[in-house]
Amino acid sequence: MINVFLCEDEEMQLEYFRYQISQYIEENQKDARLVSARRDPEDTYNDAMKIGSQPSLFIIDIELPGFSMDGFQLVQKLEESRFPYWYVFLTAKSELAYKVFDYRLRIVDYLVKKPELFQKNEVSEEVINRFNAIFEQIEKERNKPPERIWISDKTSRTGIIVDQIIYVQTVKGKHSVEIYSTENNYITRKSIKEMEEILGNDFILISNFCIISKKHIKKVDAAKRIAYLTNGYECGISRRHIQEVLKICEVR
């Protein structure tokens, strides 16, 4: 079951999309339900926290004037939970549509709010096609086995889910690294450089001794050069790498 959340500040448009989403789910027999339709992004966030870690799709207006945050800021706040969430942005300005993909988030799609859409009582063909593509992509991601890296010792081989890795750090005095994940810690005889190549673009080197997951960054203190990560971890950032880390935070 996918929980669907809608956040739209205009009352008429909120009711329109509430109807469209509910009708689409019912008519296409999707394993989903609309659980929240709100104007205030704070209300959307609070509703999501009540649901917790269940898979959820958020359909959010980009511009939310008069409220404490806009659509981008709401998504960034939701991402701190590390729950399985997907996002679709609503916008009245087509020039903002492509901007949504600048953010390193699970953005599935966007919908441009065309005036002619709001003159119809039935679910429009355009909306049906967009929602078909959205749910198809979500189902693919849900059914896709998690990506793993494999480490070995003399007696066993362990697969570590990449999304669960928070950071990797060299073990002092040894040609080894320790991998810190949400589930456990692991030591393997590899270098930081080798781990950087294995883990790829979702991770960033913050010193000669440490790699962190971009997805697990909660905040960065530029003055102290510290990255605060999920699970309460803190990692020092070298002077050489601080600007690169701060750029990553700007687009999250």
Query: End of a domain among 105, 125, 143?
Result: 143
How many domains is the chain partitioned into structurally? 2
Query: End of a domain among 106, 122, 143?
Result: 143
- Decide: 88 and 137 in contact? Cβ < 8 Å: no
Angle formed by the axes of helices 71-79 and 41-51, nearest 10°? 20
pLDDT tens over the chain, length 252 residues:
999 999 999 998 999 899 999 999 999 999 999 999 999 999 999 999 998 888 999 999 988 999 999 998 898 888 877 678 899 989 887 666 556 555 555 677 888 887 766 666 677 788 889 899 999 988 888 887 878 999 887 778 899 999 999 999 999 888 899 999 998 999 999 999 999 999 988 899 999 999 999 989 989 999 999 999 999 999 999 999 999 999 877 645
* pLDDT tens column, 156-169: 889 999 999 999 99
Residues 77 and 124 in one domain: yes
Residues 68 and 101 in one domain: yes
Residues 131 and 167 in one domain: no
Residues 179 and 97 in one domain: no
Residues 197 and 116 in one domain: no
Question: What domain range is 127 assigned to?
Answer: 2-143
Residues 132 and 13 in one domain: yes
Residues 188 and 216 in one domain: yes
* pLDDT tens column, 202-241: 899 999 999 999 989 989 999 999 999 999 999 999 999 9
Instruction: Produce one character per residue of 188-203: b if its CB has 16 or more CB atoms within 10 Å, e if not.
Output: bebebeebeeebeeeb
CA distance 150 to 170: 17
Calculate the dihedral angle through the C-alpha atoms of 132, 135, 140, 144, rounding to the nearest 10 degrees. Answer: 180
Query: End of a domain among 143, 170, 201?
Result: 143
Going from the C-alpha of 151 to that of each of 4, 59, 156, 157, 162, the distances in angstroms are 38, 39, 9, 6, 12
Within the chain, residue ranges assigned H as helices are 11-27, 41-51, 71-79, 94-97, 125-143, 192-199, 242-250
